[in-house]
Amino acid sequence: MKKVIVKKLLTMATALCLSVTSAYAFAPAASIKALAVGDYSNPTTIQPNSDYSSSWIDIKFSHAQCYKVTLPSDGRLSVTVMAKNTENLPFAISSSPSLSNLEVLKGTDVGNYTKDSPVSETISTVLSAGTYYIPLEHRLGQDTAQYKIKTVYESFGFSDTADSFDSPKTLAIGGTYTNAITATDKEDWYKVTVPENGKYTFRYSTVHNTVQFKLKNIDLREVCGKDCSLTTPSKTEDAFLEAGTYYLHVYGWPSKYSFSMTSSTTSQPSISKAKAVRNRKVDITFKNVQGAAGYQIRYSTDKNFNKNVKVKTFKASKARTVGGNKKVYTISKLKKNKRYYVQIRSYEEKNNAKFYSGWSKAKKVKVK
């Protein structure tokens, strides 16, 4: 009885040691004695989308079999293996007909200790267009095991072009880009020229896995960026950029992703009222802009603001709050009995630089 228990424990320990769940977990199969039809040297071609065969496929102990699949475009490939009479049957999506750690892109194993009781496992990963292999090896269990195999392919409808830091893709402001990080193409580089200082809005999203988006300046110092995951697949951020060259570095786990970069503007305030008060002063009542660091008021006796223009710049805290999301700022030392035209704009501040909104519509007022 003790011998039976010990033997069972040893069998379970061996199976656990051979179990694999990731790309680099396969132990070398030094015990492979022979290769079956559709083996490593002559893989059987299988379609990207194929259902289980109607009958079980035999695979002998210590033998290997292999399939070949060609993807016409970037996409996500899933492989399901249903097996019985095996305690350890590793399989993988591989870049070559091998279960070598260096070649496996995604892998696991399937097995069950109960005879004739089938179980199944599925592996999935995002791949670039090209040819891949699905190797299997029967390593532990009955003298002959049986399995069925199924593939599911989700085409993205595009094939990514090769890129690198030295040869990046061109990113145009205002465009939306969809691409993929794959098991064989693990990062993308984009280059963009920002024509002028300003505020820019980035929108990022991922589909299958965590993808990181990092905008870097010409010295490759990170300026802004977000990580998108399955729990937070979409994120948006504003960045205040100086004119110059930038790189968007995209990397992470295999996944389809998309992003956009658009020119944005700081919210523009509006003047509700311009009222003359005593001592050559005018109270400017304006709508507060949420998040504005401050404001500029410009005023002139010329309605076109071509001459006699003066500008007052002040922080948001310097204006009086009067309720209803409105603030008041007083300009003084104006010329008595003169008519003035007044405009306002807001600004946001980043890295000691100010980024302004457009000017509001002008209000006119006569000084007392």
What confidence score (pLDDT) does residue 3 get?
43
CATH topology assigned to domain 169-264: Jelly Rolls (2.60.120)
What confidence score (pLDDT) does residue 367 get?
94
Pick the CATH number of 271-366 from 2.20.28.120, 3.50.50.60, 3.40.50.1110, 2.60.40.10: 2.60.40.10
What confidence score (pLDDT) does residue 33 get?
39
Give phi and psi for 233, each to the nearest 5.
-70, -15
Question: Under CATH, to which class is 2-155 assigned?
Answer: mainly beta
| CATH 2.60.120.680 in the chain, residue ranges | 2-155
| CATH 2.60.120.380 in the chain, residue ranges | 169-264
What confidence score (pLDDT) does residue 17 get?
38
What confidence score (pLDDT) does residue 251 get?
98
What confidence score (pLDDT) does residue 196 get?
86
What confidence score (pLDDT) does residue 280 get?
93
β-strand partners of 283: 275, 330
What confidence score (pLDDT) does residue 24 get?
37
| CATH 2.60.40.10 in the chain, residue ranges | 271-366
What confidence score (pLDDT) does residue 349 get?
83
Cβ-Cβ contacts under 8 Å for 267 (sequence gap 6 or more) = 289, 290, 291, 292, 346, 357
What confidence score (pLDDT) does residue 350 get?
77
What confidence score (pLDDT) does residue 291 get?
84
The stretches in the chain having pLDDT less than 50 are 1-36
Cα angle 140, 146, 147 (rounded to 5 degrees) comes to: 105
What confidence score (pLDDT) does residue 157 get?
96
